[in-house]
Each structure stands twice: as structure tokens, then as C-alpha cells.
Amino acid sequence: MDVPQVDLGFLPTPVHPLSRLSRHLGGPEIWIKRDDQTGLATGGNKTRKLRLLVADALAQGADTLITGGAIQSNHARQTAAAAAQFGLECHLVLRGQPPEIPTGNLLLDHLLGAHIHWVPSKEAMARTMEEVAQQLREAGKHPYVIPYGGSNGLGAAAYALAVRELLRQVPPDTFDAVVVASSSGGTQAGLVAGAHIFGWDVPIVGISVDEPADVLRVRVARLAAEAGDVLEVDVALAPDAILVEDRFLGGGYAVVGDLEREAIRLVARTEGVLLDPVYTGRAFGGLIHLIREGRWGPRDRVLFWHTGGIAGLFAFARELMA
């Protein structure tokens, strides 16, 4: 069960109630698990994944990390920070055009010393990561390629172990549901696998950020099984057993609308807690919508698993002030 991990970030992250917000909404008691506080260059969910991924990279003798993502990728920024902490070179393959002045996560990528390669599309990303790896190998380096979102068996296993962390903080029957942002799927897959492995009987609702539910369910079920392989436990779950809400995709990936704006402002103004514009703003907006629909009542207790991304706020000032 114990997988090699490097000492990265600060765990355990806190878990606490959002009492003023819960009163304001008049719905269930809302609690929050603060993976925005993992401490790695403004924190986030990829820190847990990178603890296992960097350990694997070092075990393989790697001297360079390569990964990819969107221009404001939180995963890329945390990978750059992890590389810096372990004295590794970092290459990021980012989707988009280089802006005149980098902001948000991209600014941090530069400060953290990452080498940035620009590609026009998601399709070009995986191919370019492999090309960069090949060029580095030819130059005598030992690159380690981390998949999009850090979502493979190791990355997802990190979130199965996060369930064990939470169950050391609160009794297993504390929550009636968990709500989490889901995109490349590794975080939700790990939570689902962890619930299965550690006997935590709770619905884990993924709010899809950019995929239709049927696509994400299949991916999450596959990654949960891969997390099980890493932890040497059989986790065979049917995609139908994975809970995904895809009603909050709005204008598409990283398009900030009223749902995200309202959630970000409300949580900031009632609790002093920041959400990010792309993932947790959308996921919390979805949570508020589900509460208003009556999915959970005042006697229920719902955990929002905060996955970080705060640095992205600074790249979305115009949309957030609209």
C-alpha cells in the first residue's frame, strides 16, 4: 500500500466547515478540504500527484521533467516548482500563443525556470512532449514525461492515499457527499479508488470542467483501476458507478461566466477563501446549483475538495471584474 513518495508540499491539508456560507445558502453544512494549501508555489491538487511521480522519475534516474497543459495550467506550474525543488530541468509544452506579458501561472512558470514550448492544440501536445523528450535524450539527458494533468495510475493513487489522510482527520460517516472539480480525471479517480480501498461509503460527485459525462466516467473508472494496480488492490468499477455532472460546462474550458463569477465572489466574501476561475470556481458554482435544486438538505454535510489553482485568478482579472 505504501508507494514511494518524495517529500513535496505540506500535508495533511486542513479540513474545516464553511459556516457563514452554509448559513447564507440555507442548505447543507458545507465543509472544505484545503488542497489549495499544499504549499507548492501557491499549491493545488497536482502536488499530491507529483509526490509519487517525482519519486518514480528519480528512481528511473531522470534529470528532467516534461509535461504539458493549457497556457494557465496549474499542473505545469506545480511541475515546474517540483522540478526546481529537486534540482531537475523542466520543459513545459503549453497550448496557446506566448503573450507579451506573462501573468498568473505562466508568470510563475518563468520565475521557476521552466523551458516553455508552445503548441497550437491539445492534439499537438502529446506528440510535442515526445519530440522534446527525444531531443533531450539525443543531447544526453534523461527526461521523464508526466502525462497531461499528472493523471495516470501513480497520480490517481496519490488521491486514493488522500482519502486515508482525510479519514485520519474526521470519522468516516462525517459527510453525505463529496464534490470535486474533474478534468483529466485523476483526482476523482483517486478519491473513488480510495473510498473503495479504505471502506468510505460516500458519493463522490465530479463536476466536469470540460468533458461530457460519458467520456469522463469511462476515464475515471480506468484511472481508478490503474490506481488500484499501483496500490495492489483490485478496483474494478463500472463507468456507470462514477458520478459526474456535466451541466456546468458553460462556454467551454476556461471560459468564465456568471456561474464561476458568483461562486468565486460568494465564497470569497462569506469565508475569505479563494477559488480559481477555471476549475474550482466552476465546481463550486455547480455545488451551489445542486444545493439550490435541493440535492442536499439542511441536515446533510457536504465536503468540497478544494483542488487549488489560485494563481490563475491573476490571469482572469477582466472576466472576474465584469
Spatial CB neighbours of 138, under 8 Å, sequence gap ≥ 6:
none
Radius of gyration of the chain (CA): 19
The region of 17-25, 84-92, 284-292, 307-315 touching ligand PLP under the rule CB under 6 A is: 307-315
Spatial CB neighbours of 305, under 8 Å, sequence gap ≥ 6:
32, 33, 35, 178, 179, 180, 187, 191
Active site annotation includes 73: yes
143 binds ligand PLP (CB under 6 A): no
CB of 96 to ligand PLP, least distance (A): 15
The region of 169-177, 182-190, 241-249, 253-261 touching ligand PLP under the rule CB under 6 A is: 182-190
**For ligand PLP, which residue of 242, 307, 311, 315 counts as binding (CB under 6 A)?**
307
d(CA 6, CA 21): 36
**Owner of C-alpha cell 508540499:** 9
By CB under 6 A, the residues from 194 to 253 that bind ligand PLP are none
The region of 96-104, 162-170, 179-187, 260-268 touching ligand PLP under the rule CB under 6 A is: 179-187
- Please tell me which residue in 73, 183, 184, 208 is annotated as part of the active site: 73
Spatial CB neighbours of 79, under 8 Å, sequence gap ≥ 6:
46, 50, 65, 67, 90, 92, 114, 146, 150
Q: How far is CA 91 from CA 81, 129, 132, 223, in A?
A: 12, 9, 8, 25
79 binds ligand PLP (CB under 6 A): no
136 or 186, CB closer to ligand PLP?
A: 186
**Owner of C-alpha cell 511521480:** 53
The region of 17-25, 229-237, 241-249, 276-284 touching ligand PLP under the rule CB under 6 A is: 276-284
The site map against ligand PLP for 2-41 (x = CB under 6 A) is ----------------------------------------
47 binds ligand PLP (CB under 6 A): no
By CB under 6 A, the residues from 101 to 130 that bind ligand PLP are none
**Owner of C-alpha cell 474533474:** 182
72 binds ligand PLP (CB under 6 A): no
CB of 27 to ligand PLP, least distance (A): 23
d(CA 23, CA 30): 9
- The full DSSP string for 10-77 is --SPPEEE-HHHHHHHTSSEEEEEEGGGS-SSS-BTHHHHHHHHHHHHHHTT--EEEEEEETT-HHHH
187 binds ligand PLP (CB under 6 A): yes
- Binding residues for ligand PLP (CB under 6 A): 44-45, 74-75, 149, 151, 181-188, 276, 279-280, 307-309
Give catalytic residues, as residue numbers.
73
